[in-house]
Amino acid sequence: MNDQPAANPPRYGIDPYLDWVAKEGLNVAEDYGIDLFKVETKMWPRYGVKGAAVHLKGRGDFCNMFLIDVPPGGSTAPQKHLYEDVYYVLEGHGSTQLEFPDGSKRSFEWGPKALFAIPLNCKYRLHNGSGQTPARFVSINTIPIVYNLFRDSSFIFNNTHNFDRIAANAEPTDEVVYKPDANHTRTAVNLHETMFVRDIYETHRTAFVERGAGRTVYLELANSVISAHVAENPGLHVNNPHRHGPSAFVFTLQGQGYTI
């Protein structure tokens, strides 16, 4: 038996995703509830702009959030990765350029309250269209589970596989709307399949009796495993109690209230 210590002793109880965040040099904000406008960002070399990681307590290891700040007139470095990514625009105006595996490109313009998804493993950049004001996004993504599975940055960020999740001739603004059927087999309220929602405040919401007195709309984005819904409650009402799967993040868009 060799009693000499190993040159590279085994590491036990390490979360590879959190290890990666530390190596990226990101600021980390962690709490049960966080004001995304107040989180401090710092230069993130991978994106070429400032960023931060946002970890809600109880999130599990499926999804997380990044904050990305693009300065006036600036752009992110080109990105491509094996994790799903959905962006919500907190402030600013600009555009996103997508490059599909066949080399074709699409672009669309966004402003505050826009929601869009990046098709899996497609190359993209975010451009701030203003020369005077910054743009801030929150990215909801699946890098925790992907990184914990593969533990290899090069594989995740430099993979060339075409997942073919989106039709070759798809446009970001393409949309299919599914109405509820009598048995609610697929959806209980209107469900929009799309890649880009210009203003989520303007999406038409319908009554959702199972959830209470409010109105809701479902959003399936770029054939991603990340979906979203927008719900509104009238004053002095609550949602009926319900539960979510792992890493469900709730954003308060307007109004005041509390969560139990």
Residue 44 Cα to chain centre, angstroms: 17
Task: Extract the tokens encoding 122.
Answer: 């497609």
> Which pTM was predicted?
0.91
Q: Which of 81, 145, 75, 157 is nearest to 119 (CA)?
A: 81
CA dihedral of 55, 144, 250, 177, whole degrees rounded to 10: 160
- Asked whether 118 and 124 are in contact (CB, 8 A), the reply is yes
Which of 257, 195, 187, 248 is closest to 58 using CA atoms?
A: 248
Selection from 27, 13, 8, 9 nearest residue 69 by Cα:
27
What is the C-alpha to C-alpha distance for residues 159 and 81, in angstroms, rounded to an integer? 7
pLDDT tens per residue across all 260 residues of the chain: 556 666 666 666 789 999 999 999 999 999 999 999 999 999 999 999 999 999 999 888 899 999 999 999 999 999 999 999 999 999 999 999 999 988 899 999 999 999 999 999 999 999 999 999 999 999 999 999 999 999 999 999 999 999 988 887 889 999 999 998 888 888 889 999 999 999 999 999 988 888 888 899 999 999 999 999 999 888 887 888 888 877 889 999 988 888 88
**Cα distances (Å, whole numbers) of residue 190 to 115, 181, 234:** 17, 10, 19
